Structure 1
Amino acid sequence: MSSEDSQREKFLIVAFPSAGLVGAFAISYLIAQLQMKDIGELEITKISPSYMIENGKIYGPIRIYNKNNIYAILSGIPLSPLSTYELIIKSIEFAKSNGIKKIIIPRGLEVNEKFIGEPISYGLVANKNSKSLFDEYNLPLVPGATILGADASVISALKNSDAAGIVLYTTCRMMMPDDDAIIKSIKTLSDIIKVKVETEKFEERLEKINKDNQKMIDETRKYFENTSRTSASIPTPGIG
């Protein structure tokens, strides 16, 4: 890392499966495009629900990546509300210990299936230290939504901390994955963290991302099928 990189502000992006797989797939694409390095794992419980084994090495489901001033924490499995709260709390602790001042959590914000229009990325003010980020990035505020389950845990963790973090909601439909919403999330994230990412290559990489994340897709679909509206959703009339 050059001295110039070390002086740039640091960002932490935290993602795990949500509606449309928006945040998880957006981060998977950014990790590939920026050639971020896997630098370890984040443990949120003493007993992990799953492991990956490759060439005799054990990998936990929540990985940490880094490239210069950009850090990412990505969970390959959907999380319960309690596990989500612990994930965000430990992500905040990770940020503080590594001198990271800004935390971004990309999520999907489900809209009515009948809604016609391009995806929109909104920001959510979680605490008093988050407000300045909206002016800096010129993000529209969420006009109105119902926040349940894991998404409510994200807000609770941020609300009760002094971290300068924002939840970046992108409107999507409940499909796995929602390509248009993911591309919109990627573009918004790249503007915030000030990196150039070619979304034109998204379609050609989507097949590989789908294959690499098939378990995530299957488990997320099963998670939403077995729960009752545990995602964040926005009323259609509120979009405009």
Structure 2
Amino acid sequence: MRQRLSSEPDRYRGRRRVPTPPRSRYAAVVTTALVGAGIVAIGAGALPDAKSVSPAVLDELKAASTVNQDTADRADAADRATRDNDRTKAGDSAEPDVWLLPLQDYEFHSPYGMRWGKLHTGVDLVAPEGTPYRAIHGGTVTKAGWFGGYGYTVIVEHPDGSEAIYGHSSALSVREGQQVKVGDQLGLVGNTGHSYGSHLHLELHVKGEPLDPVPWLKDRGVDIQVQIEAHYSDVAAS
């Protein structure tokens, strides 16, 4: 073999390798290639006389090529369907575990606990009136309307049986019976009902009883506590 001189251009430099076909299609690709090569050889006069070849043989070769191509197409379609199904299942299984903040820019006031001699059964998140608030978790809207001292309120029942109450809204974006996903807009922050100013009142109930939303949400990866109002005795006395 003659050694290539350094002055000669490298004919193979920069050439890309042809990717190996997937195993699911390897047999079909090889068979199709062989059948195609046979047809080309016949058409190019590789046989002594192409006209002397039986038409039935040519029909069989063409039919075999079509069958193998159809098999390869079906394999591709099956692979795509499997991948799409896996992605859908992954998304469906992840969503029920997601919890989010109802607002992105707010001040945390009036935590859960005694206030002015009464139990404050939720937390207050101060934000400008008209600020959109969103579902902290997916579920079913069981209340969307006026709710006494809570003003315009949305209540969402979650799949685990817990409930979230969003009070003092200026407007509502959902209706009763509607299915909502985590992060869906439920309404706008307001000052309706027994409210001291524009804010979102958020409560969490488990088995019908209110509980402190701060540790509940922290256990689910959400830190709703930004700023805590202190010295409630001074506030109550003023």
Q: TM-score range by the shorter chain?
A: under 0.3
TM-score of the superposed pair, with normalisation by structure 1: 0.23
Q: Per residue, is there more helix in 1 or in 2?
A: 1
Structure ranking higher on relative contact order (CA contacts 8 Å, 6+ apart): 1
